[in-house]
Amino acid sequence: MHDFFQEYDLLLAPTTAVPAVNIGQRDKSLGKGGIDWAFCPFTATFNFSRNPAASIPCGFSPDGLPIGLQIIGRLEDEVTVFRASAAFEQACPWADKYPSVS
C-alpha cells in the first residue's frame, strides 16, 4: 500500500463483495470463527494495514438494496478521507433516498 499511496491520495473500493442478503441468510453461511470473509474481503485488508477508511452509501442495487463505497487514505491521513466522503455526499446526496419496503 505504501507504494500506491506515493502516487495517489485515495483508493476507492466497494465496501462489500455482494449486496446485502436476506435476514437470516448470512447466518447460515458464516465461516470458521463466525466470520464470512467472502462477504467483506475489501474491509479486512485496510484494518490490517491501518489505513484510514470510510464506508459511505453510494447507491442501490437493482433490487433496491444499499451499496457502499469505501474510501481509503494514506496512513494517518483521516482528514483527506473525511473530506472526500463529505465531497461525495455533497455531489451525490443520498440521505433522502430510501429503498422501497415491502
Does residue 98 lie within any of the structural domains?
A: no
Q: What single letter denotes the amino acid at residue 39? A: F
Q: Tell me: pLDDT of 47 over 90.
A: no
Cell representation of residue 32: 470458521
Amino acid 97: pLDDT: 74
49-74 confidence digits (pLDDT tens): 999 999 999 988 888 888 999 999 99
Amino acid 18: pLDDT: 79
Confidence (pTM): 0.80
Does residue 84 lie within any of the structural domains?
A: yes
Q: Whole domain around residue 49: which residue ranges?
A: 2-91
- Considering its fold, how many domains does the chain have in total? 1
The Cβ-side half-sphere exposure at 97, using a 13 Å CA radius, reads 13
Tell me 19's DSSP state. Answer: P
Cell representation of residue 6: 506515493
Does residue 86 lie within any of the structural domains?
A: yes
The Cα–Cα gap between 13 and 68 comes to 9
Does residue 101 lie within any of the structural domains?
A: no
The Cα–Cα gap between 48 and 92 comes to 30
The Cα–Cα gap between 24 and 101 comes to 17
Q: Tell me: pLDDT of 1 over 90.
A: no
Does residue 100 lie within any of the structural domains?
A: no
